[in-house]
DNA sequence: TCGCTACATCGCAATTCACCGATGTACTGT
DNA sequence: ACAGTACATCGGTGAATTGCGATGTAGCGA
């Protein structure tokens, strides 16, 4: 079955979304401009980790691994510029996921 | 916000699907006729728990609580007839979920 | 009534997850 | 070179999940 890997990926995605804070972060990233200003505009490069951490009210280490989980699930991408890691939604991947959900689930 | 409950529900759904066996079960239930025959046809009343348990290769207690989790997430319904509990997909709820996923995620 | 089957629930060990502080790495301004 | 910031990763602790056998409940047939 070539679906075996696809199914495992789906499980990874569902696990990533099965946490209230991570789900909220993914929705927040729909409006990058709602975050505090940064040197590089969030609408272009993504939102700085510090801002996500601040809004979620979690520690820096937790924020970092939350974003790593979302990234491994293919829901966000990370753009490192200087000392900042910027995160934004991977819209093509999310759309593909929506298709996969509609197809298999 | 009325979204608060909706979001919590979404998390519950994602948690339920964030397990390979439970996700597989939900897909198996798309073809009830692929299960062994029962006194009442599976296409009408749903699939008997024993058949799900057998295909998944898990214990009876695990099968029972897996289905309870899927049921609490609103993904399946249970129809008890005599001594058998029949499970089938709650298609309207799943379709609504698909909408919610497309909207929020 | 008695024994059997199907199922739910309980109680428990093992594994995984959540979350944090501490530490390590890399970049920035002085 | 040095201090400070941003971030990733490590190590540990407590909470939740997994999965099972054992027990409880209800329907069914003899």
**Count of domains in chain B?**
1
Whether B96 has its CB under 8 Å from any CB of chain A: the answer is no
φ/ψ (deg, to 5) at B99:
-60, -45
Which of the residues in chain B have pLDDT under 70? Answer: 1-5
Whether B78 has its CB under 8 Å from any CB of chain A: the answer is no
pTM: 0.93
A50 CB and strand D closer than 7 A: yes
In residues, how long is chain A?
105
Tokens of B34: 């692929």
Q: Distances in Å between the alpha carbon of B17 and those of A12, A42, B39, B71?
A: 10, 32, 30, 12
pLDDT at A63: 98
Task: Tell me the pLDDT band of A1, cut-offs 50, 70 and 90.
Answer: very low
pLDDT at B78: 98
B93 CB and strand D closer than 7 A: no
pLDDT at B5: 67
Give residues 27 to 66 of A whose Cβ lies within 8 Å of B: 27
pLDDT at A25: 98
Under an 8 A CB cutoff, do A27 and B105 touch? yes
> Which residues of chain B does A24 touch, with a Cβ-Cβ cutoff of 8 Å?
7
pLDDT at A5: 66
Helix (H) or strand (E) holding B56: helix B49-56
Query: Whole-number mean pLDDT of chain A?
Result: 93
Question: Any idea what the CATH number is for the domain that residue A10 is in?
Answer: 1.10.10.10
Q: Is the ipTM of this complex over 0.85?
A: yes
Pick A11's closest partner by Cβ from B19, B98, B104.
B19
Segments forming the whole domain that contains residue A61: 3-104
């Amino acid at each position: 079955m070539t679906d075996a890997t696809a199914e495992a990926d789906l499980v990874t995605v569902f696990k990533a979304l099965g946490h209230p804070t991570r789900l909220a972060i993914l929705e927040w990233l729909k409006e990058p401009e709602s975050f505090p200003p940064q040197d590089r505009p969030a609408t272009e490069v993504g939102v700085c980790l510090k801002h996500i951490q601040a809004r979620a009210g979690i520690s820096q280490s937790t924020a970092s691994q939350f974003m790593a989980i979302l990234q491994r699930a293919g829901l966000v991408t990370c753009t490192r510029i200087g000392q900042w890691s910027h995160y934004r939604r991977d819209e093509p991947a999310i759309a593909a996921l929506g298709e996969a959900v509609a197809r298999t689930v």
